[in-house]
Structure 1
Amino acid sequence: MTSTREARRAPADKHDARRNELAESALRTLGEIGYAKASLREIAHNSEFSHGVVHYYFHDKLELIVYCVRYYKAQCVTRYDAVVEDATTPDGLLDAFAAKLVETLRDEAPMHRLWYDLRTQSMFEEGLREAVTLIDSTLEQMIWRVVARYAELAGRAPALVPAAAYGVLDGLFQQALLGHQTGDPVAAQRVLDDLVAQVHTLMPLMLAP
């Protein structure tokens, strides 16, 4: 019985695995050239897959991009879970949280550029709106877990609602991302240092007196 179920499941599993492979490949191209310049043909040209293969698994660019962003953000939303689980002091949590922000900004800048690009495009592209709204909500919840844990460790209550806390930290991260794209290593490192300092300054302000 088990073998039969596995055999029936195999085609779907292989289909999903190939879509995930295509998403990983496409994300690299999308992160470099952005939403507007990307097409299925361009994405295929910059990957190991042919245009025909890409088109077989995704009807159009919009379907591919929505899938890509869902795939990437599904991996991102657990990024700070260890920060929350391992923290035993408020300052320790801030140190770990700021370090993780710096790490993801430095190592995955193209993916974050793509995310902000798509979030802006969703204001004009209705087909993107549902996925972007859902992903934004999961990111808000992710950040709120950090803020709520920080408040708990500090023995105080949060002074902001989740949406406001997310807006503050997301805005801080986006500004740091912009500043990090200067091409000047010294200036880029200064942006990262400022990000760490701002996290330590702003997080206490999110707590009630």
Structure 2
Amino acid sequence: MSQVTSAQERISRRAVDKFAQRREQLAGSALQALAELGYARTSLREIAQKSDFSHGVLHYYFADKVELLTYSVRKFEDVCVTRYDDVVAEATSAEELKQGFGAAMAATLRADAAMHRLWYDLRNQSLFEESFRTDVLDIDGQRQAMVWRVIQRYAEFTGQPPRVTPEVAYAAFDGLFQQALLQRLAGRDGAADRLAADVADLLPRLA
């Protein structure tokens, strides 16, 4: 390989890395606007007005609102999954895992309610817009796998096999979380604390 070719490849890699970094930066800024307004009430132009970037810049890095939204939600979900994986890795007993999982779900409800609302908005939109479905199913699969890792770890602690399938386990915890999210958005006190208690109570029933 010549020195010229090698230099061109390095330049090309840097350009790709810079493009990816810029997309991530834009997505982080856009998430706030999307979480505040929801999918149906936003356009790229409106997102730009609520961020530090122009409409033209957003459109250069993302083909449309669909691409921006799915990219942004994926980035957020990547962070969420690691929170529960930390609980699984650090737990030393079934009781500690049970309490830690409930506490982690309550913490993300308190800190990221708007972001979770955006995820459920995206999932609902996928019922009507085919362009969302592949991404939504993929993200749903990641969330289900995360819950199942908790179930499996709890089963290892107790020495008993899980009592449900991964699909049922995910549906149960997701249902609890979505109900708690609605209560928190409605301003009802104690939604996060009730979620933590409900999750801790549900885990032994499933695992």
The TM-score, its normalising length taken from structure 1, stands at: 0.93
Contact 2:101/2:200 (<8 A) preserved: no
Letter in 1 for 2:185: Q
* 1:195 matched to 2:195: yes
RMSD: 1.5
Cross-structure match for 1:163: 167
* 1:140 matched to 2:144: yes
* 1:98 matched to 2:134: no
- What is the CA–CA distance in structure 2 between the aligned matches of 1:87 and 1:19, rounded to whole Å? 36
- What is the CA–CA distance in structure 2 between the aligned matches of 1:110 and 1:200, rounded to whole Å? 24
Q: CA deviation at 1:194?
A: 1.2
Aligned equivalent of 2:42, options 38, 42, 51:
38
SS class of match (1:37): coil
Describe the superposition over 1:65-100 as per-residue Cα deviations: whole angstroms up to 9, x where unpaired: 121122222222222111111111111011111111
Contact 2:102/2:198 (<8 A) preserved: no
- What is the CA–CA distance in structure 1 between the aligned matches of 2:22 and 2:200, rounded to whole Å? 42
Q: Structure 1: 5+ residue runs without aligned partners? A: none
Letter in 2 for 1:136: D
Describe the superposition over 1:24-43 as per-residue Cα deviations: whole angstroms up to 9, x where unpaired: 01111111100000100000
- What is the CA–CA distance in structure 2 between the aligned matches of 1:174 and 1:205, rounded to whole Å? 19
Q: CA deviation at 1:116?
A: 0.3
Query: Superposed, which structure 2 residues align to 1:45-124 within 5 Å?
Result: 45-124=49-128
SS class of match (1:43): helix
Describe the superposition over 1:178-199 as per-residue Cα deviations: whole angstroms up to 9, x where unpaired: 001123xxx33x2122112211
Letter in 2 for 1:121: Q
- What is the CA–CA distance in structure 1 between the aligned matches of 2:67 and 2:191, rounded to whole Å? 35
Letter in 2 for 1:34: G
Cross-structure match for 1:204: 204
Letter in 1 for 2:29: S
Query: Superposed, which structure 2 residues align to 1:122-133 within 5 Å?
Result: 122-133=126-137
Describe the superposition over 1:123-175 as per-residue Cα deviations: whole angstroms up to 9, x where unpaired: 00000000000000011001100111011111211000001000000000010
Q: May I ask how many residue pairs the two structures share in their alignment?
A: 203
Aligned equivalent of 2:179, options 170, 175, 182:
175
Which aligned runs of 4 or more in structure 1 are off by greater than 6 angstroms?
Answer: none
SS class of match (2:193): helix
Letter in 1 for 2:88: V
- What is the CA–CA distance in structure 2 between the aligned matches of 1:49 and 1:96, rounded to whole Å? 39
